[in-house]
Amino acid sequence: MFLDGLDETDRKILSLLIENGRMRYSDLGDAVSLSRVAVRARVQALEERGIIEGYTTILNPQKISGAVSCYFDMETEPASFAAVCRALCAEPLITQLYQISGSCRLHIHAVCANQAELEYLLSHVLEPLPGIRKLEQNVILLRLKDVKGLRL
């Protein structure tokens, strides 16, 4: 199971942090019946083990005037796959990049400030990439559910 190596207290701390990454150590301690110092040590251990990768603020692109959030599915020639991945990782408009099942297939998420920026991404970043076999685009019209992090 993916939670092997975590005790019930670690799991509860992680669940609380998923809900509120800004939760204070003292409040976490109260919730799991540990001192602030003990909770801090557990959180640091989870960070050092790479279980907690970081903390961030999540913005809703639909609440930002004109922002366009979209997904792309791309298939590349095998010889071009690594170069395409490097180029996409370096592009600031691309927020997530996943290799998915299937030969040389990528799932890409991008957030653009407006329609013009989306057109720029397509014509100046994605379409000129070497060895593209297939590129499909889907614009997100409405976010109905968007769970962040791992559900414990």
| Residue limits of CATH 3.30.70.920 in the chain | 61-139
CATH (residue range 8-48): 1.10.10.10
Q: Which two tokens stand for residue 73?
A: 């599915």
Asked if 107 and 78 touch (Cβ cutoff 8 Å), the reply is no
Q: Would you tell me the crossing angle of helices 25-32 and 36-48 to the nearest 10 degrees?
A: 100
CATH code for the structural domain at 61-139: 3.30.70.920
pLDDT-derived band of residue 1, with 50, 70 and 90 as boundaries? very low
- Pairwise pLDDT comparison (144 vs 86), residue with the higher score: 86
CB neighbour list of residue 23: distance below 8 Å, 6 or more residues apart: 16, 17
Residues 6+ apart with CB under 8 A from 81: 104, 131
Neighbours of 42 (CB within 10 A): 20
Q: Where in the chain is the domain with CATH 1.10.10.10?
A: 8-48
pLDDT at residue 114 is higher than 60: yes
pLDDT in tens, 20-63: 889 999 999 999 999 999 999 999 999 999 999 888 877 777 77
Question: What is the pairing mode between strands 132-139 and 68-76?
Answer: antiparallel
Specify whether the CB–CB gap between 130 and 83 falls below 8 A.
yes
Which range among 28-37, 63-72, 82-91, 127-136 shows the weakest confidence by mean pLDDT?
Answer: 63-72
As beta bridge partners, residue 99 has 106
